[in-house]
Amino acid sequence: MHSWLRLLLSVGVFVLGLAAMAGSAAAQGTTPTDDEVNAIAKQLYCPVCENIPLDVCPTQACAQWRDTIRLKLSEGWSEQQIKDYFVEQYGARVLATPPAEGLNWLVYVLPPAAFLAGAFLLFRALRSWRQAAAANPAMPVAPAPSDDPYVRRLEEELRREG
Amino acid sequence: MTNPPTENAAAPKSRPRWGVALVWIGVLGLLALVGAGLIRTQQGPAGVGSKPAPFTLTTFEGVDIGSSDLIGQVVVINFWASWCEPCKQEAAELEQAYQQYKDQGVAFLGVNYVDTEPEARAYLAEFGITYPNGPDLGTRISQAFRIRGVPETYILGPDGVLAQVKIGPYTSLDEITRSIEAARTGQP
């Protein structure tokens, strides 16, 4: 009984080991789908076709790049490793989102800084307008009695009519 | 037409001068950056008579070749890619020219632009190219020459100054040899 149990356990461990190995081999050998390739490709731009993301670029150069992504994915490379490889090969300009280093940081700092500066200027302008309005009360709404005899006659006529 | 300033409105709060100066410095700096970028993009490819920045080409075999090591020789630098159809028109002729000049103080370098290695190697094998070729890592060499596309060929004279520029493919071996001879003799 005891040896039978030991045999059963050994077979079980062996089968589990085989299954794990097969699973791992299958995972590495799987051909990546177009969606998986494009998920990375859309973050890259080929210098030949400026302003066209790699996932939709129709040129042969871009098709070759997508094949490279597919190959790297099938070899088990991560998204970051693939992006690093492309940067090493073709420079940081292939990235859709440039790294925040060198002059690139201006891209990240300037838009929010301009927005904040605009908001500040608008706030100040509104405040100064409000202060100016408070300091100079509005002109009386009721019109001053007219000295024009024609207007006076017209008003009298209207009053009589009314 | 404006109303004279009244006493109430007289002294508007003075803005901090350093703040205004800072804003102006920022705006002018930004304009200078944009201007420098525009000038660079409008410059076009490196021209005859200019001296390109030194570069190092790492070949597909892993050998580093520095441009400064080739001073004293005429250097033919050809930018190409496997996906570039016009490059194929001149590939065989460039190899013929290399065979003709390799023992006469003329160096050939092939710079593989924005390409993938398996296809680039297949291209070299297809056209039997034997002179040193390597990828333009980080597109640094093509940026030094400000190339606009491929194929483009730049020939440096023995002094390292750009002697000949060919935008587009060479149409014949004769055209290549004429360019090399002109670079050797310092003719325009």
Check: CB of residue B115 under 8 Å from CB of residue B87.
no
| Among candidates B23, B33, B139 on the partner chain, residue whose Cβ is nearest the Cβ of A90 | B139
Mutation target to probe the A interface, by most A beta carbons within 10 A, among B14, B79, B83, B140 is B83
Min Cα separation B101/chain A (Å) = 31
More confident residue, B70 or A47: B70
At A143, is the pLDDT very low, low, confident or very high (cuts 50, 70, 90)? low
> Which residue range forms the structural domain that includes residue B123?
56-185
Same-domain status, A65 and A107: no
Tell me, yes or no, whether A76 lies in a domain: yes
Render pLDDT for A86-112 as a digit per residue (tens, 0 to 9): 999 999 989 999 888 888 888 888 889
Same-domain status, B150 and B64: yes
What average pLDDT score do residues B71-100 get? 97
The count of structural domains within chain A is 2
Tell me, yes or no, whether A37 lies in a domain: yes
**pTM (global) more than 0.80:** no
Nearest alpha-carbon partner for B135 in B121, B155, B153, B154: B121
Tell me, yes or no, whether A66 lies in a domain: yes
Same-domain status, A33 and A45: yes
> Which residue range forms the structural domain that includes residue A60?
28-97
* The 3-state secondary structure of chain A, one letter per residue: CHHHHHHHHHHHHHHHHHHHHHHHHHHHHCCCCHHHHHHHHCCEECCCCCCCECCCCCCHHHHHHHHHHHHHHHCCCCHHHHHHHHHHHHCHHHECCCCCCHHHHHHHHHHHHHHHHHHHHHHHHHHHHHHHHHHCCCCCCCCCCCCCHHHHHHHHHHHHHC
At B112, is the pLDDT very low, low, confident or very high (cuts 50, 70, 90)? very high
Same-domain status, B71 and B149: yes
Same-domain status, B30 and B109: no
Render pLDDT for B26-83 as a digit per residue (tens, 0 to 9): 889 889 988 888 887 778 788 999 999 999 999 999 999 999 999 999 999 999 999 9
The token pair that represents A154 in the structure block: 């017209």
pLDDT at B167: 97
Same-domain status, A46 and A33: yes
At A24, is the pLDDT very low, low, confident or very high (cuts 50, 70, 90)? very low
Nearest alpha-carbon partner for B91 in B177, B151, B145: B151
Check: CB of residue A32 under 8 Å from CB of residue A73.
yes
| B64-66 vs B56-58, strand pairing mode | antiparallel
